[in-house]
Structures are given as C-alpha cells and as structure tokens.
Amino acid sequence: MTQDTSVSTHDLTELAQDILKGAKAHGATEADVLVAEGDSVSVQVRLSAVDRLSKAREKSLGIRVFFGKRSASVSTSDFSKESLDRLVADTCTLAKAVAEDDLSGLPDATQLAKDFPDLDSFDPTTLSVEEEIALARRGEEAAMSEDVRIINSEGADCSVVHGAVVLANSHGFIGAHRSSSFSLSVSPIAVDSNGGGMQRDGWYTVSRKFGLLESPELVGQKAAQRAVRRLGAKKLTTKRVPVIFDQDMAGSLLGHLATAISGYSLYKGASFLQDQLGKQLAPDFVHVEDHGRLPGGLGSRAFDGEGVATRKTVILENGVLTNFLLDTYSGKKLGFASTGNASRGIGDNPSVGPTNLYLQPGTPSSDDLLRSIPQGLYVTELIGFGVNMVTGDYSRGAAGFWIENGELAYPVEEVTIAGNLKTMFANIEMVANDLVFRGRIASPTIKISEMTIGGN
C-alpha cells in the first residue's frame, strides 16, 4: 500500500488557461475548458483465479466555445501542441456554423463557485495489483466458506480509482477537484442441498476512503448469506399487499424521482411531475435532499460541470416538491436559476444529474417495518425497465421475500410489482432509520402501503 502523488491539478490548470487564450485569439466571445486525468486499477477474481485485470491512466480535454449565441463542443485525448491548436481552431469553426440558440451561454459570473472547501473526497492511498487481487480473493474465500451451499461464484471485484478535474472558463473561473474511489464486491452462487434450485446474490462496499471499506471477510459473508436465503424461492398469486423496498431498491425509486425533476425532462414534457412544483407528493414525514457538498459523498464537489457552486437543495420538504434539479440551460428554459446540478462528460454539453440525493431516515428500524405487515412483499431485487417517466406507470419484475405475520416467511421470485410512481410516493407509509451511502443516490428501507403483485 502506497501514497499516490501522480494525480495533480497544477499542470491541468495551466493547460486549461492556455486553451482559453487560444479560443479568445480565434474570436470566441465565451469559452470553457474541462480537463480530466485519472488512474484506475480493477481486478476480478473467480474461484481464486484472476479472471480479469485492467489498469489505465487516462487524460482527456474538452472545450466549449461560444460565438454570441452559437456554440460547439469538441474533445481530445491528444495533448500535443499541434493537436490542441487544431482542436481550438476546429471548434471555433464549428461554432460559427451552427444555428443560434437564444439561451446559449456560460453561467453568470455571480453564480460561479468562489469557495472550495475540503469535502473529504480524496484518499491518496494506492494498492498494487497484487494487493487488489488479495482483497478480492479474501472476499470470495469468505463467501465460499460461509455456507456449504455456496458452491460457485460469479467473481469478486476490487477497484481503485484516483482522478483530477480542472474546469476553467472565460469569466476567470478556475476550479480543481481531486477524488478517489475504492470498491469491493462479491457475487456467490448457492445451490439447494436437496437439488431444489440455484440462486445468486452479492454484496458490495464502496467509499472515497480505503479505510472506510467493509472488510473483505464481511463483504463475502454478507454476499453468501444473501445468496443462501434466496434458496427455495416460490411464486405468488396476484394480489394487492403492502410492499417494503430494501435500501438499494428504495434508492432506485429516488433515481426515478431524480429523472422526473431534471430540468431537461421537465421542459421537454417528459416527466410525470410536470406542473407539480409546490404540490404535496408524499406524506409530511418524507424529506428528500440533494447535497453537493456532503463530506465524503460519492457525488460531492464544490462546483458542478459548469463551475456553478454546488449546494444543498431540498427536493421534498414535508412531502412537498420544493425544487427541481437544474443546470444553466434547463433553468433558463423553465425560468429558474441553476441549482448547481450540471453534469458533464468531457466534450459533452452539460446535462443535469444529482450529486448526493437521499431520503432522510426516519425513526423506525427495518424490523419495525416488517412487524407492521401481516402479509406483504419485501423487495430485494428489481428486474427490467418497465417505467414510463411521462405517465409514472411502474411495472417491474421483482424478487425478495414473502412477509407473514411481521416476519420474512420464504423467498419469492418471478413476480411483478405494478403501480404508478406518483401514487407510490404518496403511499409511503414508513421510512426506516438505516440510511447508508453506497452511491450518489441513497435511501433507507421504505414501506409503501399497497401495490399490485402479479404472479401465477
């Protein structure tokens, strides 16, 4: 284990400033430059053998130039002077040729980030390939030894990523961000000792800091337990019952919410939350926030993809929809200011995405949610993409457990859960206290009072 010193922002900053000078020399009225550099090492071990190994160091640059209300964006990974000079010239030529857009342009200078707090997003620890292989093996071995019914594996993965991003624009803004990500996952396969079927499941841990990962042994044990508990799964008959979504599955519902409140979905008329701002969408104990400066958050940074200062944005306050997620362009379309949620790939125009979106935890435990249900479904996996974001209609394959008298009675599979997202949010009956961040979107376990379960 070593300390990484290779990913820096100083050289990237100088490069971005040189590109901006070149764009100005070509007559651009405005411009911004995004430069990214990163190292990644990823291994997969299957049955103790190395199944896949990738190691990469990448560097890329994207420029966006404006000539009045005309703009163009281009990217490159060739950092030679000749290539970059040509990139600037070609991008300016393209911008002059496209149609005007009255809403085109950089954010107002007053919106740009001016403070850059340490958000605890970078851990310089690096792992050798051998160390990553050892961690993955430890996780898989823990899963294989946890239960005799674990007889195979889809593999264990370990990944380490370090990156640096610099964004500069012609308003004089320069922002730099360093980040790291460490992850470990295990996916074992269990077989019923009576020959009654095969099931797979898994578990994972991810963090900005290596020292905050769950141990490989704990990840492997949890993965094995999750796979074994699915053995002997049954089907259900069609009925309407309460449904509990575990943390990850509840997080997927928040993902749909994020899409629905994206400025681009809204101004294109492609959201079931059209014209719902200020309306009651959920019970008054439901609070959802997007927090771009959450310390250690996997989506945290001081500025967004346009340089606008990130912030905490309340989405649902006491169940009322209080804000959308916006970048500069979609905000102008809808008549609002950016919320600091511009998401941007190298060479792409900004879009909208959440930073750290989460449902605030309640006070009941997940066991309290179970005990509140005489009969119902506990969902641990969702399958397929049966969600209509325009109407909110929701129908997805699911697996999980049947609840009987407040306890998990037996595993179920090949069922369909159906409803409408607006109704589902309105029918949230309980929110547990088990919020854990393992991604940019996180939720505690939640209970929805009733949904249609489709089976035999």
**223-269 pLDDT, tens digit each:** 999 999 999 999 999 999 999 999 999 999 999 999 999 999 999 99
State the pLDDT at residue 197: 85
Confidence of residue 4 (pLDDT cuts 50, 70, 90): very low
The model's pLDDT over 133-149, given as tens digits with 9 standing for 90+, comes to: 999 999 999 999 999 99
pLDDT more than 90, % of the chain: 94
Tell me the whole-structure pTM to 2 decimals: 0.94
Q: Which two tokens stand for residue 246?
A: 């575990």
For the segment 423-452, the average pLDDT, to the nearest whole number, is 97
pLDDT over 60 at 5, yes or no:
no
Residue that has been written with the tokens 């990840």 in this structure: 219
Residue 456 banded pLDDT, cuts 50, 70, 90: low
- pLDDT (mean) for 385-391: 94
The residue behind tokens 């001016």 is 114
Q: What angle do CA 122, 216, 382 make, to 5 degrees?
A: 85
Residue 26 CB contacts under 8 Å (≥ 6 apart), including other chains: 65, 88, 89, 92
Dist. CA 49–CA 325, nearest whole Å = 45
pLDDT of residue 2: 57
**DSSP assignment of 170-186:** TTS-EEEEEEEEEEEEE
The whole-number pLDDT of residue 252 equals: 97
Residue listed under structure tokens 């996780």: 139
Amino acid at 169: N
CA angle 226, 229, 230 (to 5 degrees): 95
Q: Which two tokens stand for residue 454?
A: 């489709």
Q: How far apart are CA 384 and CA 391, in angstroms?
A: 18
DSSP 8-state assignment for residue 340: S
pLDDT of residue 385: 86
Residue-wise pLDDT for 88-127, tens only, equals 999 999 999 999 999 999 999 999 999 999 999 999 999 9
Instruction: Please report which confidence band the pLDDT of residue 195 belongs to, taking 50, 70 and 90 as the band edges.
Output: low
Q: Mean pLDDT over residues 336-352, rounded?
A: 94
Q: Per-residue pLDDT for 408 more than 70?
A: yes
What value does the mean pLDDT take over residues 306-317? 98
Q: In what order do the strands lie in the sheet with 288-291?
A: 320-321, 312-317, 288-291, 357-359, 441-442
The residue to which tokens 């990523």 are assigned: 161
For residue 59, pLDDT beyond 80: yes
Mean pLDDT of the 177-204 span: 92
Write out the DSSP string of 243-307.
Answer: EEE-HHHHHHHHHHHHHHTBHHHHHTT--TTTT-TTSB-S-TT--EEEETT-TT-TT--SB-TTS
Q: How far apart are the C-alpha atoms of 249 and 447, rounded to whole Å?
A: 11
- Cβ contacts of residue 255 below 8 Å, gap of 6+? 441
% of the chain beyond a pLDDT of 70: 98
How far apart CA 50 and CA 53 sit, in angstroms, is 7
CA 208, 43, 221 angle in degrees (round to 5)?
A: 75
Across residues 44-69, what is the average pLDDT?
96
